Amino acid sequence: MSSLYLFTKNWNRFSFFHNKSSLLKQVSCFVPLLEHRIYLYSNNQNNADEKVSSGKIISKDLKSIYDHNKNKLRNTEQRLRDRGTFIIQDIKETRDKVKEKVEEVIERENVYTIPNLLCITRILLSPYLGVLIVQSEFDYALAILVIAGATDVFDGWIARTWRSQSSKMGSFLDPIADKVLIATLFLTLTYVDLIPMVLTGLIIARDVLLVTAGFIIRYLSLPPPRTLSRYFDVTHATAQLAPTLISKINTAVQLLLVGSTLAAPVFHYVGHPALECLWYVTGVSTVAAGLSYMLSKNTYRIFKKHKPN
């Protein structure tokens, strides 16, 4: 702009010259000066543009470095958080395993007791007793039934008298042995037409429901992990069965019925009206005992409820 100003300012001087040659000489003197001014101006503009572009490049580089470090820091923070979660989870699992082992040691009990042995003996005698009835060997069958009944009396008396002989497994094993014995007697006596089939079906159906409920409660009360080995580990007690009063009466009535029915061929009173009356008493008490098991809150007592973390 300063070059153009000088040129314009001096142009008025040129108007006083009437000689063309001297005018050209004056103009030619200012042309190099004008070119030099234009060159300096363009050079300054290029330097300014170069500085602006360099600043943009530098700012872009700094931004990319900042973004890279920010992402790297975020990834590191996420990895640390994940690692911390894994460590906490591992500590919880280790704590649960240790707690489970301690509880297993505490809850393990002695199952090798005389009452449990008598219960197992009663279970083993049941199939042999059934074979004798099917073969109409009622004399021998009655003798075996007396022995089985004696084991039922003595196992309860021993468990109540000596606390060291009492076990939570026995609370399940004793009624199971009774159910096996009674079911065997009812099925075989029905087979030889000494007990009606309807009564036998009612008793077997109720016992199947009770045994199934026992298996389900065992599964629900077993703390995790629920494996087959731990499920059938009889030394690891998780629940206890508490028979109701009506169920004890029903068991006594059933034993009275099968005992008197088995003795009928031996003492020759088959078809006596007292036996038929006993059928109805047994049926009513069986239904009442089943309802008492279902409605009573204290039938099964779970020792410890393990709440999930």
Query: Pick from 253, 243, 254: which is nearest to 292 by CA?
Result: 243
pLDDT of residue 85: 74
**Per-residue pLDDT at 233 exceeds 80:** no
- pTM beyond 0.85: the answer is no
Ramachandran sector of residue 193 (left: φ over 0; alpha: ψ -120 to 50; beta: rest)? left
Per the listing, tokens 């079906």 go with 201
Per the listing, tokens 């700012």 go with 59
Residues 85-139: tens digit of each pLDDT: 767 777 777 777 666 655 554 455 566 788 888 889 999 999 999 999 999 999 9
Q: Does residue 71 sit in helix, strand or coil?
A: helix
The rounded percent of the chain whose pLDDT value lies above 70 is 62
With beta carbons less than 8 A apart as the criterion, state whether 168 and 240 touch: yes
pLDDT of residue 16: 45
Q: Which parts of 136-244 fold into alpha helices (H)?
A: 138-161, 168-191, 197-221, 228-231
pLDDT of residue 109: 56
**Per-residue pLDDT at 235 exceeds 70:** no
pLDDT of residue 73: 74
Q: What is the mean pLDDT of residues 157-177?
A: 77
Residue 30's pLDDT band, with cuts at 50, 70 and 90, is low
Query: Pick from 111, 235, 205: which is nearest to 164 by CA?
Result: 111
pLDDT of residue 285: 93
Q: Measured between alpha carbons, how far is 166 from 104 in angstroms, rounded to an integer?
A: 19
Token pair of 123 as six digits: 């279970």
Q: What is the mean pLDDT of residues 149-169?
A: 79
Q: Of 294 and 193, which is predicted with more confidence?
A: 193
